[in-house]
Amino acid sequence: MPRAMFEYTKTVLEKVSFDVQLFRKELEKAVKRLLPHELDELRIWLMHYIQGKPELSKCLTFIV
């Protein structure tokens, strides 16, 4: 089940990445929901995902 939540979180973040505010809100929810090791994985995934999307780079402060 926890792995499913991690995958779901990535899917949601990809779908709302068109809007920085939505992306930030979903990222905040993910920080509350995910396990510590999943947050580490999400941080790595985010670093790769936001390359080429400078508007989303501000959202990294919520997970670092």
Q: How far is the CA of 9 from the CAs of 6, 54, 58, in angstroms? A: 5, 20, 18
Domain boundaries, the chain: 2-62
Query: What separation, in Å, do the N-terminal and C-terminal C-alpha atoms of the chain show?
Result: 24
pLDDT tier, 46 (very low <50, low <70, confident <90, very high otherwise): very high
pLDDT exceeds cutoff 90 at 42: yes
Cβ proximity of 45 and 17 under 8 Å: no
* Dist CA 42 CA 51 (whole Å): 14
pLDDT tier, 2 (very low <50, low <70, confident <90, very high otherwise): low
pLDDT digits (tens, 9 = 90+) for 10-31: 999 999 999 999 999 999 999 9
* Dist CA 2 CA 61 (whole Å): 23
pLDDT exceeds cutoff 60 at 1: no
